[in-house]
Amino acid sequence: MALVDACIHHNLQSDIMMIPAIGHYIVNSGGKRFRPLLCLLTARLFGYHGERHIPLSVVVEFIHTAS
């Protein structure tokens, strides 16, 4: 999950002040981030060894937060 948090911060760097604020809200809100965790656990369940599951988990969290 630390890699997911780092990826969130990396992808939300912007000169527009609202965008990094959203990233900090997502990471620091204290939520369990159950949906990204499911992505990570599913990748592990199927023996995935790459890194693509990290940004996928971030996208899932962004979609959840936006809705």
Q: List pLDDT tens digits, range 15-49.
A: 888 888 877 777 777 667 899 999 999 999 999 99
What is the total count of domains within the chain?
A: 1
Q: List pLDDT tens digits, range 41-55.
A: 999 999 999 999 999
**Helix (DSSP H) and strand (DSSP E) numbers for the chain:** 4, 0
Distance between CA atoms of residues 38 and 44, nearest Å: 10
Which three-class secondary structure state does DSSP give residue 45?
A: helix
Q: Among residues 29, 50, 25, 27, which one has the least CA distance to residue 40?
A: 50
Distance between CA atoms of residues 27 and 30, nearest Å: 7
Full domain range(s) for residue 37: 2-66
